[in-house]
Structure 1
């Protein structure tokens, strides 16, 4: 079969992956979406209880809406904020259903390479199609030929470890029965029982940590002997709790204020300058040990919320150009460096910033941000619009910017779960991360997904 007649393989049936498929269909190019889970938006469903910072108006893609329109799909109120569960059930799964057989579930991508060429070989490289290696849900293996690969698999599957050096702390893996890497859903009775009446360490300093502290403080108000210990690698300063009432992201500011209140009201205690080196057992409890030798009083549980990182293992035979710090495409990395930019100051970008030395392979969505913590779903949708235009040969459209992100107004939102006044966007626009309080893909926040 001619290379151009092969499908474009999209890795991941999350928000940006499904948007990529919709844009490919609009361009007359056959997509094949490979999803490891049993349904669309598997990662998003893992944080179904979290409300996004972005309203509905900012988390649906125009090409996807065109595909959905003939089915009688009704766009939700654009001013309201969906939870992850809402996003999956009311938009992402219906979109996957419309794509039909162009989405395959239970297909885990284990490798991508040029057919007959490992990463060393130059000769005839660009003329060869890609070969995508997958494992199926029943344990089988397949090889799929593709003209191009769009990796929208996000970062949700690789959370950051407790160890301050980016590597799991000594004993962290063996203590896994008492360590979690997601904001707990305390509405789930089994999860609630795990933390009620317990002493829990929360490791991290972002919106995810704020959310966990706020939830555990609420639980402490209802269940005696519940207490959180907030582990910070740095000291507490003016920026520790975010911008508070002055924050351009009202919801993020509100989360920071709730985290501050948790500490000030005695539901949580903060430990600063603590860089975890080891986790030791004390019977059924855990003792965290810092690099400087400090030892914390024993805790029952640990919630580690130190960000996410991309899984690049299955791309090892491709020639990727990645920034050495962020693990993002080299042209994109300076635009998303968290030391310089917030979500509102990252301008829209596309195929130019997402290209690699390996032609026709693209990392998009939260995965394109590598270890950078903030991401907008709208940015991901613009990425795949540009990439698919380039694959269709429409270079003018690929270079054109079709999205405007104002520096303010795009970064507000809910994020406070189901609080009564948090479901409308009267005070601003959408968020930086997906889920908003969980930096992930796709995205994300940080996942997964984007938001």
Structure 2
């Protein structure tokens, strides 16, 4: 195992103390980091690729979360908001993604001490150390981080920072359809027939699905949400067909569990179980995709089913196979990642889906998230790599600990506490994919 620098705080120089902490992403964990740093009077900048805060969540804003408000609000953010006159939503209600943004994230991002530090339309395309590629060691920890960004107008800029908190998430980088982890052969020729996870089936994207045969690939909660919406559409438009294709013998990740304290998630699994049992969803299991090809205006999925060559024809495919972190922008940063799930090496055993459900994750903070480049952190969904079902409360505790560490408050940084609802079955040792929604 790589030896990690677990000193109370990064090497401090006069220049570093004058630089802000760079937060990549303005989703819930990125904004929670901003709130935690605000309370500790540490300067920061939030770099957001989208034209609005929480751009990724807005893409699936029609989906209702399975976690109630009581587990969705960061404590530091709540304190700042309440001081500004904000009223906490009904703690037992479960919002949609858009309600989550409008009722919580937008008010938080609008607070004066945070709003002035958010830069929209600013995509981080690379992170390094100033004048240091990853091979140079002498004096490395004393050099500020360098973030290269590209704005939507094409302008390229560079920022320096004392520390980097990467909360950019994984929604923009889905896992490929291929069972090998690679895009199936022929993908480019049918890209217009393969949709991202969580399309708005009953709303903005409705016309695309009416009267067509849609196959949802994946065994997680993202797949379940889309399957339910498609069956509702089929009730209204009888020529609409729905197929669920999975590579395992059963969809254990979505099946219901009486042990799940998140009742909305348990109902989600039960609903899909019933739809499949009633024949309203055609279930194809044991299908391993290796190639795809156009079939007129439709698409043909080819591979094996239970070891035998197989083919499945459909009009559209929804890729709900989960997500993975974009690590390309971090090529010049010294990372210490687990070989399997691509999470920080000290965190990986705590979230390994072969050993843990998402409700049995142990509390963890800056120590488990530290990399050989001190002061750089992956947080939130991205910190989980390819492990499934990240819960927001986990990310909030991560950034609370990191903010305390940056402030030199080692007592608070090391005293990590995390209470998660029991979650029943949300992982399997047969496959690894992220699920939605926290």
TM-score higher than 0.5 here?
Answer: yes
1:277 equivalent to 2:304? Answer no
- 2:230 counterpart SS class: helix
- 1:134 counterpart SS class: strand
Aligned partners of 1:242 and 1:252 also within 8 Å: no
For 2:103, the equivalent position in structure 1 comes to: 90
Matches within 5 A, 1:191-270: 191-236=205-250, 239=252, 241-245=254-258, 247-270=260-283
Give the TM-score, by structure 1 length.
0.88
Give the TM-score, by structure 2 length.
0.90
1:244 to partner: Cα distance: 4.7
Q: Distance in 2 between matches of 1:241 and 1:13?
A: 29
1:240 to partner: Cα distance: 6.4
Q: Distance in 1 between matches of 2:119 and 2:200?
A: 29
Q: Distance in 1 between matches of 2:359 and 2:393?
A: 11
Q: Distance in 2 between matches of 1:299 and 1:84?
A: 29
Q: Distance in 1 between matches of 2:259 and 2:383?
A: 30
Q: Distance in 2 between matches of 1:173 and 1:338?
A: 32
For 1:52, the equivalent position in structure 2 comes to: 65
Q: Distance in 2 between matches of 1:169 and 1:358?
A: 35
For 1:13, the equivalent position in structure 2 comes to: 26
Q: Distance in 2 between matches of 1:207 and 1:403?
A: 23
Spell out structure 1 runs of 4+ moving beyond 6 A. none
1:33 equivalent to 2:56? Answer no
Q: Distance in 2 between matches of 1:365 and 1:342?
A: 17
Cα gap change, 1:260/1:338 in structure 2, threshold over 3 Å: closer, same or farther? same
Aligned partners of 1:376 and 1:432 also within 8 Å: no
For 2:311, the equivalent position in structure 1 comes to: 296
Matches within 5 A, 1:31-430: 31-98=44-111, 99-188=114-203, 190-236=204-250, 239=252, 241-245=254-258, 247-291=260-304, 294-405=309-420, 408=422, 411=423
Q: Deviations over 1:348-367 (max 9, x none)?
A: 21011000111000000000
- 1:126 counterpart SS class: helix
RMSD, aligned CA: 2.0
- 1:174 counterpart SS class: helix
Structure 1, gaps ≥5 residues long: 413-430, 434-438
Aligned partners of 1:230 and 1:269 also within 8 Å: yes
Q: Distance in 1 between matches of 2:291 and 2:37?
A: 48
Paired residues in the alignment total: 416
Q: Identify the range of structure 1 (340-349 vs 377-386) with the bigger mean alpha-carbon deviation.
A: 340-349
Q: Distance in 2 between matches of 1:253 and 1:432?
A: 10
